[in-house]
Amino acid sequence: MPTRAAKLLPLLLPTIRPARLVALPQRSITTTTTVNTSTTTMSTKNSAPALAPKPASAPAPAATKAAAAPAAAAAPTPVPAAASAVAAPAAAATPAPASEKKERKSKKDKDDKKFTLKTPKGTTDFTPRRHGAARLDFRDDHAASFKSTAASQSTRPSLSSREILTGKYGEDSKLIYDLQDQGGVLCSLRYDLTVPFARFLAMNGKQYPAMKRYQIAKVYRRDQPAMTKGRRREFYQCDFDIAGQYDAMVPDAEILAILVEVLTELDVGRFLIKLNHRALLDGVFEVCGVPSDLFRPISSAVDKMDKMPWDEVKAEMLQKGLDAAIADRIGTYVQRKGSKELVAQLREDADLIKSDRAKAGLADIELLFTYLDVLGVTDKISFDLSLARGLDYYTGLIYEAILLDELTTAQILAAKADKEKALAASGKAKKAAAAASDDADNDESVGIGSIAAGGRYDELVGMFAGTTKKGVANKIPCVGVSVGVERVFSVLQKKRGAAPVKANATQVYVMAVGDGLLPERMAVAKQLWEAGIAAEFMYKAKPKLQAQFNVCDKEQIPLAVILGPDELAQGLVKIKDMRAKVEGEAGAGVAVKRDDMVAEITKRLAVL
């Protein structure tokens, strides 16, 4: 006799079954259930595994009541037609698991993601008008200056092993861009062009015991940018170095003469080259009583005298552990500047000449002025005892070029302090501070600073090359200078103002009237290219004449070769000076024979 539970079980299945189906894993199946000789097929994505058919009215033993729940999970169970009808809509209405929703949302976010399009802090996209022609002129013109001294171009990789750069830049070492471990080697982007050059000499000293080289390339510094002053995190430097054993101060004098020539040709305005000697500066520290372990930290403080007043420099010295009386003695020296007469005055200083270092430095500077007189550049030189140069690798003469018509950082800060006082008095200080904070890439509190700097670094190559078997250092003495290309161009751009800048080197534009004459324009352009003349034409089969003239105006192309069907039939072309705005027949250009075209254009370009 069937139990009561067995009789009720078929009636309960339509409500129990959908709940079980929802909880089972997702998969696509087809279930066939036979009820009263009719067959129903159900396809669903959220259903149970395939179930075997069984008569719905079959009685169950009493023992099945206790085992009904586990049996539902472990064994196939018949699904009545009513259950089939309920299961499908229940499965369709079941919400997707949270993980599936999150995955779909993540994919949608990726599809809808909007990029923030901007350059990294301290970097710039240079358009053709801001970069192209002007920087190419710098490279070509001043490469010629370097070549005139028998220098050759020599380049190094942008990447360097981290240990090569570490410990060479004093307090500025924190500005080096380090990269993640690649292939087991820790790398960094080069901070300057000098240390990689010294590494090259250490590796190739036998092949290149003496070398005169130049390089124009990018360097990278994690510094606070001041974009309008040419102070960026990625920028070009132009280096000129002389390596090898030579008599004292001869290469140094040539480096300074080349620097004067380059800055004069660039027409940057009034400039001055400040110079000092590391040995002389160390001699000053020695006679003033500075402990030897504080020479470099105190030197770094002295180097900030163009950025802050003496009182603040002295305060930094005291913070670094120097006695106030010693700092005051240093101040009597490092605030002095002049020319050859200052050398003579320092030679009369009884305390200073007790230092062998100071005497050696003075001897070098005295000899240098003799050579600078011969080279005719002494009037551009200032002997300045405040110049220290913060880089650790300098060992002798040091120098930097400054612009006399530009404000120094100290002057800018003083003016800024006065302005802030005035704003505070008027109640506008907060508004001005908020406006300044909006321009994080342009720190206006600093000046352009030096536009070129360098010095002698006799020990740097030996630091990398080590010693010989006899214990002798593998030294190659070096001296060089680096020109900050971006700082120079920031000055030139300010002088030029809004004047148009030619963005490319195109000298001739080949145009046509009438039917377009594209093959003929191509042929003329090719003829000019083969003659070494930069030429261009419009990439259209039938360009409008005015559109071609507009290109010449926009790109500042000085000459045009105009082709017409009648002229071509006679073996002629017309050459027009695009700078002259002449109307009528005279403005149509001058007809010349096709065979004489290159010679005529060459003659005209020579006098532009």
Model confidence pLDDT, tens digit, residues 235-263:
889 999 999 999 999 999 999 999 999 99
pTM (2 d.p.): 0.70
CB 462 within 8 A of CB 185: no
**Cα separation values, 296 from 83, 223, 268, 284, Å:** 89, 21, 33, 13
Q: 508-606 — its CATH code?
A: 3.40.50.800
For the residues 372-396, what does the mean pLDDT come to?
A: 93
Model confidence pLDDT, tens digit, residues 492-534:
878 776 566 677 889 999 999 988 999 999 999 999 999 999 9
Q: Which of 366-380, 437-451, 477-491, 580-594 has the lowest mean pLDDT?
A: 437-451
Does residue 561 carry a pLDDT above 50?
yes
Q: How far apart are CA 350 and CA 354, in angstroms?
A: 7
Q: How far apart are CA 215 and CA 159, in angstroms?
A: 15
In the chain, CATH 3.30.930.10 covers 128-421+448-496
What average pLDDT is seen over the chain? 79
Ordered DSSP codes for 401-453: EEETTS--HHHHHHHHHHHHHHHHHHT-HHHHHHHHHT-TTB-TTS----SEE
3-state secondary structure of 214: strand
Torsion of CA 173, 175, 176, 178, to 10 degrees: 120
For the residues 5-27, what does the mean pLDDT come to?
A: 45
Encoded tokens for 228? 């309008």
* Residue 425: half-sphere exposure toward Cβ, Cα within 13 Å: 6
Determine which helix (DSSP H) or strand (DSSP E) holds 457, and give its type and residue range. Answer: none
| pLDDT value, residue 57 | 44
Q: 128-421+448-496 — its CATH code?
A: 3.30.930.10
Encoded tokens for 490? 């920031």
Q: How far apart are CA 608 and CA 606, in angstroms?
A: 6
In the chain, CATH 3.40.50.800 covers 508-606
**Cα separation values, 48 from 26, 39, 85, 234, Å:** 8, 18, 14, 63
Residue 447: band (very low, low, confident or very high) from pLDDT cuts 50, 70, 90: low
Residue 94: band (very low, low, confident or very high) from pLDDT cuts 50, 70, 90: low
Q: How far apart are CA 162 and CA 199, in angstroms?
A: 12
Ordered DSSP codes for 484-526: EHHHHHHHHHHHHTT-----S---EEEEE-SS--HHHHHHHHH
- Residue appearing with tokens 């536009």: 451
